Copies of this chain bind each other. A is one copy, B any other.
Amino acid sequence: MRQVAILGIGQTKIDEHWELSLREIGGVAAFAAMQDAGVDNVDALFVGNMLSPLISGQNQLGAFFSDWIGLWQKESVKVEAACASGGAALRAGLMAVAAGDVESALVVGIEKMTDKSGHDITAALATAADADYEVEQGVSFVGLNALIMRRYMHEYGWKHADFAPFSINAHANAMHNPFARLHQKINTDQFEKSAMVATPINLLDASPIGDGAAAVVLVPAERVASMPGRPRVTIAGSASATDSIAVHSRKDPLFLSAAYESAKRAYEMANVTPEDIDVFELHDAFSIMSALSLEACGFAERGQGVRLGLDEEISPQGRVPVCTRGGLKARGHPVGATGMYQVVEVVQQLRGECGATQVEGAQVGMAQNIGGSGATILTHILKAE
């Protein structure tokens, strides 16, 4: 496999974009990435999306987008892995460039969610769970995460307030990210008094949906070596792993084995350890997922992920900075696009473009994208050179 670099990045603000259609949102991010890369064409397009058949009545987003953005006759395909669709699309694009099949690829994660009612969205998101054995029983996606969180609290003795630092950190960081969905600081008191969604998950444990798209341009790394002005960012590690789709089928529902496995392979490929990771964009769809992700990736012992927040280690100045641009919690979670937002944000950190939430001297960054309640997990490690 030849090495692959990220030449350009682009994103839209995550919002209720009633003024932009599905194709238009994707176009904004795609053109921004191509402009940032200084290219006006690519050999192939990979689209990450979860919900467009259900929300917009539109399948075949590959051809749909290559048509819209003028990539005539180019290869184009959609990749779907629930909320990990963005990371999965990046990996598909990576493989095409790494194999030598194409010399450049555009990867776009896109989701338009706010054209439907909350009830429709809840039903659409439940397609990430097991239709036959979970959804059929009436459980929603947040319900599954609530079961996991409650069990975690019971097993390890944490109380709800102990999760507050994850959300507080995310909201504080999002204040400095113009693309973030939410721009409001929160404190522990607000966190505790927030409206209940599915006990013990309340509104401030949960990430907001939204419309958004994020994109990168991939090229062989040797083509970027001589570019002046900013560091070359390469994809040093990439891995995908799966666990059972139904939570009840897992040997241990409190351990994200697919996160462990994909992180392990990505560390090996990038030749790094958790200690080398300067910034970690993790998948905080719910606060419990932050804790489980940190544990599975080797940043905390089992049951102790929460402590990293309590010990103030997760801020941009901490030992394990997470969600430095707001995370899913405050930047927002347009599901199929989220994995690409994470990657774009890691690139911003490695380029030193993050202002008040810049992690000083960040050289190695990790993005972890989770589909379902831990069923498909993609881990990517980027390096600035």
Where the two chains meet, the residues of A that have a C-beta atom closer than 8 Å to any C-beta of B are 1, 21, 23, 44, 50-51, 53-54, 56-64, 66-67, 71-82, 84, 88, 91-92, 95-96, 98-101, 124, 126-128, 130-132, 135, 239-246, 249, 257-258, 261, 371-372, 375-376
- CB of A136 to closest CB in B, whole Å: 9
Residues B60 and A372 in contact, CB atoms below 8 Å apart: yes
Given contacts A79-B79, A371-B63, A376-B77, contact A127 B57 (CB under 8 A): yes
Residues B88 and A95 in contact, CB atoms below 8 Å apart: no
Query: Which of B75, B126, B241, B257 makes the CB contact (< 8 A) with A241?
Result: B75
Query: Which of B56, B79, B257 makes the CB contact (< 8 A) with A73?
Result: B257
The A interface is mostly helix, strand or loop, or mixed, namely mixed
- CB of A92 to closest CB in B, whole Å: 6
Cα distance A105–B185 when bound, in Å? 47
Query: Which of B60, B61, B99 makes the CB contact (< 8 A) with A95?
Result: B99
Q: Which residues of B contact A88 (CB under 8 A)?
A: 62, 77
What are 30 inter-chain pairs, A to B, with CB distance below 8 A? A1-B100, A50-B59, A51-B53, A53-B53, A57-B135, A58-B127, A59-B80, A59-B127, A60-B375, A61-B80, A62-B88, A62-B376, A63-B81, A63-B82, A63-B372, A63-B375, A63-B376, A67-B246, A71-B242, A72-B242, A73-B261, A74-B241, A75-B239, A76-B240, A76-B376, A77-B80, A77-B240, A78-B79, A98-B99, A99-B99
Q: Which residues of B contact A132 (CB under 8 A)?
A: 21, 23, 58
Residues B63 and A242 in contact, CB atoms below 8 Å apart: yes
Nearest residue in B to A257 (C-beta to C-beta)?
Answer: B73
Residues B1 and A99 in contact, CB atoms below 8 Å apart: yes
Question: Which 4 interchain pairs have the tightest Cβ spacing?
Answer: A99-B99, A63-B375, A59-B127, A60-B82
Q: A59-B128, A64-B130 are in contact. List 9 more A-B contacts (CB 8 A).
A: A44-B240, A53-B124, A60-B81, A63-B82, A67-B244, A71-B242, A78-B81, A80-B80, A95-B101
Cα distance A135–B72 when bound, in Å? 22
- CB of A305 to closest CB in B, whole Å: 21
Nearest residue in B to A123 (C-beta to C-beta)?
Answer: B57
Cα distance A243–B62 when bound, in Å? 10
Q: Which residues of B contact A249 (CB under 8 A)?
A: 67
Q: Which residues of B contact A96 (CB under 8 A)?
A: 95
Given contacts A1-B99, A101-B98, A239-B75, contact A131 B92 (CB under 8 A): no
Q: Which residues of B contact A79 (CB under 8 A)?
A: 77-80, 92
Nearest residue in B to A82 (C-beta to C-beta)?
Answer: B60
Cα distance A305–B27 when bound, in Å? 37
